[in-house]
Structures are given as structure tokens and as C-alpha cells.
Amino acid sequence: MIERIKTFVVRHGALLLTLVIFLSVYFVGGRLYPAMQKPQVFFNLFINDSSLLLVSIGMTMVILSGGGGIDLSVGGVIALVSTASAALLRGGASPFIVLPLMIVLGVALGGLMGWMIQSLKVQPFIATLMGLFFTRGMAYIISLTSVTITNDVYRTFALTPIHIPFISRAYIYPTTLVGPIMLIVAIYLSFFTRFGRTIYAMGNNEQSALLMGLPVARTKILVYAFSGLCSALAGIVFSMSLLAGYGQFATGMELDAIASVVIGGTSLSGGVGNVIGTLFGVLIHGTIVSILQFNGTLSSWWTRIGVGVLTLIAIGIQSIFSLKTKRS
């Protein structure tokens, strides 16, 4: 019995640790600010960080696939999607055309970057950097200032609260659901499809995966397309939540995403980690922000320090864990 618990802890150590960190931080927050103990605060984490969750999910898959995989374009895609949607809607386009169009846009951009990385052998850093410049650049071209969205469909999605059963005065919005849904999709992909298992295999040893006959090339392109999909969805959620399109949305979100992914236990070298850890990474990020908001006096820059410190701690623990497992 003890043996089984021990193996479980070692196997899922990183994930458990992230969970523990999240609970600890949340607990500390609740102690410092009793107002934080309200259930709605928990749901607010999902409401406020739904875009971050989405891009972090995409980022997780990209990083898992190894080979220095990273996607710096996520913030840019959000900006582009928001401004493009706002412009189109203002021009009278129907949301039922705009929404699928944005998704296609995200997937196409991601696929293009994936192709550059796979076939042209461009470093992921450089290729997605170009993606960032391009998408945010296009967003600026579409509109330098914020464009309000007044479309009814959008407004409904943005403003209709969904009450949580059994918990009084707790609600979320329809857009909040997109993140958790994509999380489930990502979990399914990661653990129940050849696509996901190939990602893990590639991340561990691309050469071996090739020799095992796995579709490495195709998977590499698809994983970036998937990240593009997540970014597009994040952009849609973002523009719905704020009912606006703005070129300066989500600046620096790629960093928060990377930090969330790393804190969640995924290794930058690939093959280790999963999206569930990323969820907690994002929740930790949100909790820190909440604590700061409740404090009111400390500015947002403490979040930056907090996230930086946590990333450091997470990596430190990751390396201790990998050393321990190597020895055993």
C-alpha cells in the first residue's frame, strides 16, 4: 500500500506539487482577505483568465512536442482576432461568419508557422516571433485604437450570467466555458489519440519517434495549428469579454503562458508534463492576481515578481525530481 502511494507520488509528483502550491496560495489569500473565501472568487479565476488558459493549453502542446518548441505568437493572434472581428462586425458581417473565419485564421497561421518549422527548419523561436510581429502588426493596421463591439450575439455571450447550481451567488459566463472545454479536448488528444502520443514521443526523442514510424512531420505542423486554434479561440473569448478589439490586447501574454506551463510541470525540453498541470499554473497566476486585487495597495508589478519567483521555484523542484527519478 505504502509502495503504491510512493510510486503514485513519484510518478505524478510535479502535478501534485503544482496542486499543492495552488491550494497553498489560495489558502493564504483566503486567510489574508476573508472576502476571498467567497466561492465566486474561485469562479472569477476562470472568468478572468479564460484567454490565458486557452493559449496556455496550446502552448503546452507545442512545448511538449520538443525540439525547442514554443509559440510566441499567441498574444498577437489574440490581438488580430479581436481587431479583425471588431472591424468585420462593425462593417455589418454576421457573427456566424466572423467566428468560424477567425478560427480558420488561427489554424491557418499556426499551420503556416508549423510548416516553416518543420519543412524550412526554421527555429521555432524565430518562426513564431515572425508570427507575433505579423499578427500584432496586422492588428495595428486594422485599427490603432480600440474598436467597440456592439453586436447582439456577442453581447449575449458576454453578459449573460450562468448560475452555478448548488452554490448561491456564483456564476460564470458562456465564454468562460470555452477554456475548460478545450482543456477536456486537449486531455483527450493528449491521452487518447495517436496525435497526442506522438507529441509525447517526439518531445522525448524525435529520432526514436521517427524510427518507430510515427508521423513526426505531420504532427509537428498540426501541433502548431492546434496552438493557433487555441489562440484564435482565446481571441474570440477576449473580444467577447471586453466587447472590443484592440491591437494592444494581450501584450506579453506569451510569457504568462510559458510561465504557467512551466509552473504546471511541463519541461521546456519536451516530453514531460501535461495540460492539467497547466490548468493549475494558470490558476496560480490568477490567484496571485486576485490576492493583489484584494490588497488594493500593491500594484500589478508584484504579480510579475511573484510569477517569476514561482517559475524559479517550480523549475528548481522539477530538476530535483528528475535527479531523484534518475537515481532510482
Partner 1 sequence: MKDPNDVVEMLEITKSFPGVIALEDVDFVLRKGEIHALVGENGAGKSTLIKILTGVEQPDKGTIELDGKLVHVRSPQHSQELGISTVYQEVNLCTNISVAENIMLGREPRRFGSIHWQKMNEMAQHAIDRLNIDVDVTKPLGDYSIAIQQMVAITRALEVLSAKVLILDEPTSSLDIQETNLLFDVMRKLKNEGIGIIFITHFLDQVYQIADRITVLRNGKLVGTYEASTLPRFELVAKMLGRSLIELDAMVKEKSQEEEARDKQLLVEAKELGLTGTLEPVDLQLNANEVLGIAGLLGSGRTEMASLIFGVAAPDNGSLIVDGEKVSKFSPLESLKRGVALCPEDRKAEGVVGNLTIRENIILALQARYGWFKFIPPQRQNEIANKYIELLGIVTPSPEQLVKNLSGGNQQKVILARWLATNPKVLILDEPTRGIDVGAKTEIQKLVMQLAEEGKSCVFISSELEEVIRVSDRVAVLRDRSKVAEYAGDVDEKILIQAMAGEV
Partner 2 sequence: MKQTAFLKKIRESQLFWPLVAWALILIFNAIVAPGFFKLGIIEDPVYGKRLYGNLVDIFNNGAPLMLVAIGMTLVIATGGVDLSVGAVIAISAAMGAVLINPALGNQLITNEILTRNATNTPLPLIILANLAAGTLCGVWNGLLVARVKIQPMVATLILMVAGRGIAQLITNGQIMTIYYTPYFWFGNGYILGLPVSIYIVALVLLLAWLLVRKTAIGLFIESVGINAKSTYYSGINEKNVKMLAYTFCGFCGAIAGLILSSYVHSADGNNNGLNYELDAILAVVMGGTLMTGGRFSMLASVIGAVVIWTFTVTVYSLGVPANALLAAKAVLVLLVILLYSDYSRRLTNRLFERRGSQHDRAN
CA dist 103 and 151 (Å) reads 18
Indicate the burial class of 92 (C-beta count within 10 angstroms; 0-12, 13-18, 19 or more): exposed
Window 169-188: residues binding partner 1 (CB under 8 A): 188
CA dist 8 and 257 (Å) reads 27
Using the contact rule CB under 8 A, the part of the chain among 30-38, 74-82, 195-203, 308-316 near partner 1 is 195-203
Q: Measured at the alpha carbon of residue 21, what is the angle toward residues 289 and 304, in degrees to the nearest 5?
A: 35
Residues binding partner 2: number (CB under 8 A): 45
Q: Residue 61 or 214: which CB sits closer to partner 1?
A: 214
Do residues 285 and 26 touch, judged by C-beta distance below 8 A? no
Per 3-state DSSP, the chain is made up of helix, strand and coil in percentages (nearest 5) of: 75, 0, 20
Place of cell 456564476: 171
Instruction: Give strand pairing partners of 171.
Output: 163
Radius of gyration, CA atoms only, the chain: 20
Place of cell 527555429: 123
CA dist 127 and 109 (Å) reads 11
For the window 42-71, what string marks contact with partner 2 as x by the rule CB under 8 A? ----------------------------x-
For the window 43-82, what string marks contact with partner 1 as x by the rule CB under 8 A? ----------------------------------------
Which H or E run contains 148?
strand 147-148
Which H or E run contains 147?
strand 147-148
204 touches partner 1 (CB under 8 A): yes
Q: Determine the length of the chain.
A: 328
Q: How many CB atoms lie within 10 A of CB 8?
A: 11
**Shortest distance, position 312 Cβ to partner 2, whole Å:** 5
Q: What SS3 class is residue 92?
A: coil
**Shortest distance, position 194 Cβ to partner 1, whole Å:** 7
214 touches partner 2 (CB under 8 A): no
For the window 141-180, what string marks contact with partner 2 as x by the rule CB under 8 A? x--x------------------------------------
Window 239-298: residues binding partner 2 (CB under 8 A): 247, 255-256, 258-259, 262, 268-269
Using the contact rule CB under 8 A, the part of the chain among 104-112, 133-141, 209-217, 278-286 near partner 1 is 209-217
Handedness of CA 37, 242, 171, 185 (dihedral sign): negative
91 touches partner 1 (CB under 8 A): no
Binding at 122: pick from partner 1, partner 2, none (beta carbon under 5-8 Å per type):
partner 2
Binding at 8: pick from partner 1, partner 2, none (beta carbon under 5-8 Å per type):
none
Q: Residue 15 or 47: which CB sits closer to partner 1?
A: 15
Using the contact rule CB under 8 A, the part of the chain among 96-104, 137-145, 193-201, 218-226 near partner 1 is 193-201
Site residues, partner 2 (CB under 8 A): 70, 72, 116, 120-123, 125-127, 129-134, 136-138, 140-141, 144, 247, 255-256, 258-259, 262, 268-269, 299, 301-309, 311-312, 315-316, 319
